Amino acid sequence: MFSNVEMAARLNASEASDSDQSSPGDQSSSTRSRNRSLRLAEKERRKNEADSFSLALKYFTEVKSGTPVVGNDDFERNLVCVEKTAYSKGLHPEAVSTMLEFAMSCRMGSSPCARVLKCLLPSSVVPQEAVVRAVVWLGISKIPVSTQILFVKWILTMFDLIDGKAQLRAIYGFIFNFVTDENLCPFICHLLYLLTRKESVRVYRVRKLLELQSKLGRQPFLLHLLSLYKVFCPELVTLSIPSRMKTGFKNYNSPWKAALVGVLKRNGSQVAQSINLLASASRKRKLGHMDLPVLAPAVNTQAVSESLCKNVVPLVQIQSFTQLLENIHQIELPAQMGSLLGSSLALQYLDCLQDESALLRMNFWLGYALHEEFLFFNNGGANQNSEEAQQFLEKLLSTQHFLQEGFSSTEAFLYKFLNVWDGALMRPQILGLMSNIPVIPSSHIGQLLFEPLIQLFFTSSLFFKCGLMECLNNMLLKWLTWHSVYALEDDLDISLNSHTSINMTLSGFKNSVMELVYFVGRLASVGLQGEDCHSLLLSFVLDFYETVCEMFLKYGLPLVVMPPPGVFYPALFATDPVSVDRLAYIMYRYKINLASAKYQEKRMEQAFHINRQTFLEFNHYAVLMVNCLWNSKMFGPGTGLELSESLLLKSKVPNYGASFHLVHHPAFLSYAVDFHQQCWPKRNDLDLNSIKQSKALGWYLEFLISQGFDGLKHFVESNISWQVTGGQGDSASTQTRGTPSPPSAPFPGQRSPDAALSFPPLLLHLFPRIHPPNSRSQAPEDTVAGVNARSQGCEAPEKDTLPYYRYYRASTPLFCTGVAAYLCLFTGQTSIPDPTPELVHLRPDNLPPQSKDREMVWKWVSSPCPSPPWLAPVSPSV
């Protein structure tokens, strides 16, 4: 009977001795490899664990009787090792045998016995031989009463996991003898109840039980066993069993059940049916803090008596939405508010609930659950219920999504949690919760939110950075939505509303939003630098600024904040066309917003106004963008980017001024080449400069727009007007200067003597853009604007040949990155020039209506182009 166990033990021992020699080496190597690769280290660690586990088992197999426990470090270490394995993975059958044998034999005294029993969690099954042996030990060794009870409880808990019951039934009589032990009696009765068969029922056993009953009184456990006997052999038991007897034995809240369910779940169920059994048992166990309370009617009798007279309906009785609507005035809240989270109907009710203390109850419970799980770690290391926690957070998220607001306890929790968060644990959920944080007063926002986030941001991976950007964007969106809804209702000043407890004025709200936008600007600037302007991160940053640029028009917040140079330049010099296109779109929307704000300010004489600096910044960026993408005058004086000539020469990029012209811009280079090939399919040498010829440039732009670059389209349409003649440009400017603001022109004649301090005209580029197809005239130099805008004026190399193109491709991204980095670093030093007052905004709309050119242009634009060059590649005569 015992040979199996011994063999297993020996097997373990040999395994252990094998791994014994390698173990120290492994340990040192594992420390070395920690930095190498996490996965490798993990593997190594597992192996080490397995080694030390088998060593520990060997120790417990071989330990001599009489070894002292107190101060025995070997024992302590080995037992801790076994415990760790037991709680995480469970013990394999041999290990269970070994440990049970060790505990019950009391080789090291009885003191470790209880501790070992507590950690005896099988990973699959319990060998019945081990149990039989242990029962035998129960008879002979000196084990304290409490430990004896613990052992029988252990058998009861593991009963379904014992791999066979035959041998246990064989010693039924032996087990029956323990019935006389007063302390063990209830548990032994239970065990016998499980083991009893017809053949086990004997007269002397019945007699013994009856004798016990007369001594102890009608104890339920005796009655149960006797009733079972009566079922098997009614002739032997003459006792009358009460018909209304309480059913079942006590359900012991033993220390193993929860841990065992966890272990079996983690091991992926080898014993499926026993899991079912255990799961049904565990349903009854105490609720953990992550479990939602059951939706139950209020149990406080006071409330009940009130409810009886008021005729209220408990929420749990509401089955449909119609019922909810019918009874909405007389619904009784459940006993635990947390249970509302579990039912969608209850959430509907929560949505319209105005009861302050009910919400406070909800917040107390929710905050408690979050704190316990993520901040206090009171659940112990044994159950790693990350899955449960994730489900909980997702439930919470969907609830908040449904209610369109965050709970204040979630908010309070997040402020604490951000300080200890590693940025990886439950990242999507935490970021989701974070985006629900309502407006924070600007005086606290830094300490509560920004400080922890800065630390996380700079120490985390690219994906975290992107996630955070998205989260902050969502947060801003929610704030702005809140504002637009709220401001509409309460007529701008939120503080006027006396029945709300928040005291947030419009200016306070503006400050908070401004803080947030500036903060994201700082994060983005440094983040983009750190990640080499990664286009994924850039995309998320631009998402954010797409929200920011619409603040005035879409959300009615009189605030416009421009992106910092650290965002603007990386986007402008990005190597992917999408980023440049989105930047163009953002600039276009900024312009519309600023124009509208300006107009409002004039018309409504409202107290708000947009900071002049914002206009200056916008003008600066816009001028720069046009110079860069269009005029090939990147570094010229007055363009805002004044790099020293020698530095630029050092870069060895030929014709650096034109490097970011739409034709040469690294983002659009492939389009340019494509266009070139379609336009001039028969040409062998690639001469990109030929695209810059006025006609081709117009087509090129149309080509780009046809590729879906709508942002560019809007930007060009709103910011770049093509050259008519110098005289007309002048006349346009003169005309607008004198007239009082016509509603069509957003910034008419906005000029004060001191141009630098006044609102400058928003934008202004007279520019050769699309020439009517029949116009052969070369675009003349534009002298109206301070910016030299010439369609062909860029000093490109004489011939863009294919080798040059290759060189260009190789060098430009480097150059790009270099310039971008340079700009980010030295933006403080680049001088922002005074916008030239002479620049006049000239657009098709403000052109004199009689202008012939305008008509021609519109005709050309609106008439279907007979053959766009890129569709029908007819080589035009250039």
Partner 1 sequence: MEQKENRQSGERTPCSVALVQRRSKSYRQSYRSCLGATSRLFTPGHATRRLNSSRRAPRPRDIKEQLDPGVLSLLTRTEWQLSYVTPLFQFRHTRLKSYARQLSAFMAAERQQGVAVEVQGEEHTYRGRFSLLPGLVEGEGEAEAVLIQLWSRPAFSRADAAEKPVWSGWFSCVRGGDDYLRSLPPDFVGLPLFCSSGAESLTATVKAWFSRHFDCSFGALPLDQDTLQWVAALWANCHLEADLRHLTLLWEIPVSPPLKVSYAVEPLDAWTLWSGVRRAPSAVEEGVIGVGEVEEFVQELKRHFHRHFRLQLSAGNLTQVSSGLGAAKSSGRVKISSSRYLVSTLSLLTECALLKMPI
The interface with partner 1 within residues 436-475 (CB under 8 A) comprises 438, 440-441, 443-444, 447-448, 452
> How many other CB atoms sit within 10 Å of the CB of residue 611?
12
Candidates 3, 28, 280, 357; binder of partner 1 (CB under 8 A) is 357
Q: Is 365 in the site for partner 1 (CB under 8 A)?
A: yes
Q: What x/- string results for residues 388 through 407 when contact with partner 1 is judged by CB under 8 A?
A: ---------------xxxxx
549 Rama sector, left if φ>0, alpha if ψ -120 to 50, beta otherwise: alpha
Candidates 6, 18, 20, 182; binder of partner 1 (CB under 8 A) is 182
Q: Is 419 in the site for partner 1 (CB under 8 A)?
A: yes
Residue 463: CB minimum distance to partner 1, A:
25
- Specify the residue, 233 or 382, whose C-beta has the smaller distance to partner 1: 382
- Specify the residue, 6 or 351, whose C-beta has the smaller distance to partner 1: 351
Residue 230, φ and ψ in degrees, nearest 5? -65, -35
431's enclosing H/E stretch is helix 427-434
Size of residue set near partner 1 by CB under 8 A: 103
Binding to partner 1 (CB under 8 A) within 687-726 occurs at: 718
Residue 225: CB minimum distance to partner 1, A:
16
Q: Which residues contact 4 (CB under 8 A, 6 or more apart)?
A: 127, 129
Residues β-bridged to residue 312:
none
Q: Is 317 in the site for partner 1 (CB under 8 A)?
A: no
Binding to partner 1 (CB under 8 A) within 843-862 occurs at: 845
- Specify the residue, 466 or 549, whose C-beta has the smaller distance to partner 1: 549
Pick the piece of the chain touching partner 1 (CB under 8 A) from 114-122, 149-157, 548-556, 704-712.
548-556
Residues β-bridged to residue 307:
none
150 Rama sector, left if φ>0, alpha if ψ -120 to 50, beta otherwise: alpha
Q: Is 378 in the site for partner 1 (CB under 8 A)?
A: yes
What CA–CA distance (Å, rounded) separates 164 from 59? 28
What CA–CA distance (Å, rounded) separates 159 from 225? 17
Q: Within 13 A of 679's CA, how many CA atoms are on the CB side?
A: 26
Residue 761: CB minimum distance to partner 1, A:
15
Residue 776: CB minimum distance to partner 1, A:
30
Q: Is 818 in the site for partner 1 (CB under 8 A)?
A: no
Question: What's the farthest any 2 CA atoms get from each other in the chain?
Answer: 126
Residue 166: CB minimum distance to partner 1, A:
31
Candidates 367, 640, 657, 772; binder of partner 1 (CB under 8 A) is 367
- Specify the residue, 310 or 682, whose C-beta has the smaller distance to partner 1: 310
Cα–Cα distances (Å) from 381 to 9, 85, 114, 257, 378, in that order, read 29, 12, 20, 16, 9
What CA–CA distance (Å, rounded) separates 583 from 578? 9
Q: What x/- string results for residues 225 through 264 when contact with partner 1 is judged by CB under 8 A?
A: ---------------------x---xx-x-----------
Contact yes or no for 835/623 (Cβ under 8 A) = yes
Pick the piece of the chain touching partner 1 (CB under 8 A) from 127-135, 518-526, 589-597, 721-729.
589-597
Contact yes or no for 194/131 (Cβ under 8 A) = no
Structure tokens at 359: 């919400």
Residue the block writes with tokens 């009940």: 304
Q: Which of 387, 379, 441, 452 is nearest to 415 (CA)?
A: 452
Residue 408: CB minimum distance to partner 1, A:
3
Q: Is 277 in the site for partner 1 (CB under 8 A)?
A: no
- Specify the residue, 345 or 358, whose C-beta has the smaller distance to partner 1: 358
What CA–CA distance (Å, rounded) separates 478 from 759? 32
Pick the piece of the chain touching partner 1 (CB under 8 A) from 117-125, 195-203, 293-301, 514-522.
293-301
Candidates 257, 522, 554, 602; binder of partner 1 (CB under 8 A) is 554
Q: Is 299 in the site for partner 1 (CB under 8 A)?
A: yes
Residue 438: CB minimum distance to partner 1, A:
6
- Burial class of residue 528 (count of CB atoms within 10 Å of its CB; 0-12, 13-18, 19+): buried
Residue 283: CB minimum distance to partner 1, A:
10
Candidates 147, 363, 547, 733; binder of partner 1 (CB under 8 A) is 363
Structure tokens at 153: 């409880």
Pick the piece of the chain touching partner 1 (CB under 8 A) from 227-235, 354-362, 627-635, 664-672.
354-362
Q: Given the DSSP bridges, would you call strands 331-332 and 313-314 parallel, antiparallel or unpaired?
A: parallel
Q: Which of 392, 468, 472 is nearest to 437 (CA)?
A: 472
H-only helix segments in 720-801: 726-738
Structure tokens at 556: 């009615």
- Specify the residue, 527 or 746, whose C-beta has the smaller distance to partner 1: 746
Structure tokens at 409: 């306890």
Candidates 411, 687, 782, 853; binder of partner 1 (CB under 8 A) is 411
**Any idea of the CA torsion for 153, 156, 158, 159, to the nearest 10 degrees?**
160
- Specify the residue, 357 or 877, whose C-beta has the smaller distance to partner 1: 357
- Specify the residue, 198 or 499, whose C-beta has the smaller distance to partner 1: 499
Q: Is 418 in the site for partner 1 (CB under 8 A)?
A: yes
Q: Is 336 in the site for partner 1 (CB under 8 A)?
A: yes
Residue 360: CB minimum distance to partner 1, A:
6
Q: Is 741 in the site for partner 1 (CB under 8 A)?
A: no
- Specify the residue, 428 or 742, whose C-beta has the smaller distance to partner 1: 742
Structure tokens at 252: 């012991």
What CA–CA distance (Å, rounded) separates 77 from 287? 33
Residue 134: CB minimum distance to partner 1, A:
24
Candidates 592, 643, 648, 673; binder of partner 1 (CB under 8 A) is 592
25 Rama sector, left if φ>0, alpha if ψ -120 to 50, beta otherwise: alpha
Mapping DSSP onto H, E and C, the string for 183-194 reads: CCHHHHHHHHHH
Candidates 200, 409, 627, 836; binder of partner 1 (CB under 8 A) is 409
- Specify the residue, 44 or 411, whose C-beta has the smaller distance to partner 1: 411
Residue 354: CB minimum distance to partner 1, A:
7
Q: Which residues contact 390 (CB under 8 A, 6 or more apart)?
A: 426, 429
Structure tokens at 559: 């605030």
Q: Is 743 in the site for partner 1 (CB under 8 A)?
A: yes
H-only helix segments in 293-385: 301-310, 321-326, 344-351, 356-371
Binding to partner 1 (CB under 8 A) within 53-92 occurs at: 73, 76-77
Binding to partner 1 (CB under 8 A) within 498-527 occurs at: 499-502
Q: Is 300 in the site for partner 1 (CB under 8 A)?
A: yes
Candidates 30, 213, 267, 408; binder of partner 1 (CB under 8 A) is 408
